[in-house]
Structures are given as C-alpha cells and as structure tokens.
Amino acid sequence: MTRIHFAADHGGYELGRALQARAIEAGHDVVWHGADELDPGDDYPVFAIRVAAAVVEEQDAGVDAFGVLVLDEAVAGVVAANKVNGARAVTSTSPRAAMNARAVVDANVLVLEGIAYEESAWLNVAAFVTASMEASVTRGRQILQIEEYENSGTIEGWAVQLEPEQIAVRHE
C-alpha cells in the first residue's frame, strides 16, 4: 500500500481535500499535513516543506511514500519542496507527464494547481503514485549525479561507474 502525504494551501484546499478522499477510497494510506481549515492568509512554503520532508524521511526508511501538494501557485511549491534534501518535486499537466517525471527523475512530490479539475488532478495523482523509475543504468547514474551535487555541491563522477545492480530501488 502506498502512503501519500497531502497538503494544500488556501488556493488548493478544496481540491486537496477531494483528492485526499479519493486516495483513501482507492486504498492508499493517507497523511494530511494541512491546512486544517481554509485560511486565505496561509503560506505555501510551510506545507511544501512538511510534505517533502515527510516523504524523504519515509522513503529513506524504505516506505513506499509520495507527496501531493495542491497550491494556489504550483511552481512556487515546486521550488519550496525542492529545498528539502532528497525531494524531487515536479508539477504535471497530464498523467503522461506525471508518469514521465517518475520514470526519468524518480520524482517523489507532485505539485498541482488548485484550479485544476478534480478528475484531471486525480488522474495525475494516480499515474504518479503507480509509475516507477525507469530501471536503467543511465537513469540511476543521473539520479546519483543529482544527489551528489545536492549533497556536496559538485559532480566528481563517482556515479559514472554505476553497475546495473546498483540502480535506484524501484517504487511499485
């Protein structure tokens, strides 16, 4: 069972709650990180960082976990969530793009606009949490290069020697 960490600001609150309900109905383990009620004065960084940190912590512990943020301005949420070491947040406008984000960069946080149609948003979420990273040496090496830079500020090339059995764990 996949765990999905949800959060929404004032611009995505209604859609976020609707997606949370659909995820529960689909059998996912859901954690809500706020907002607890509609607050026109709330700020997206708090929610983005909460969700991204929870996802990274759980994935590091071996839990099949993803994040979904529903915000007034999705691109701002992508920037904030990506400040968490290990988060790979993306926005998506189609299920194909959501699946591609998982396949190519092993994205772990999906950020949606609060004005999206519920059905379209749900199809993006469902595609995102069920897709897997492409099981290839190239993709694994590229992810490790991103992580190397994220952790050390440089790409020295240690990831280039990656062997097939060393690629990132696939989420299924």
The gap from C-alpha 92 to its chain's centroid, in whole angstroms, comes to 11
Domain definitions of the chain by residue range:
3-130, 137-166
Contacts of 117 (CB under 8 A, 6+ apart): none
Q: Which fold has domain 3-130?
A: Ribose 5-phosphate Isomerase B; Chain: A, (3.40.1400)
pLDDT of residue 158: 56
Two tokens, residue 61:
């512990």
pTM: 0.87
Two tokens, residue 75:
């691109």
pLDDT of residue 135: 76
Task: Give the residue among 135, 65, 68, 69 at the shortest CA–CA distance from 104.
Answer: 135
Give the pLDDT of the chain (172 residues) as one tens digit per residue: 899 999 999 999 999 999 999 999 999 999 999 999 999 999 999 999 999 999 999 999 999 999 999 999 999 999 999 999 999 999 999 999 999 999 999 999 999 999 999 999 999 999 999 998 777 777 778 888 888 888 888 887 655 555 555 555 454 4
AA letter at 158: W
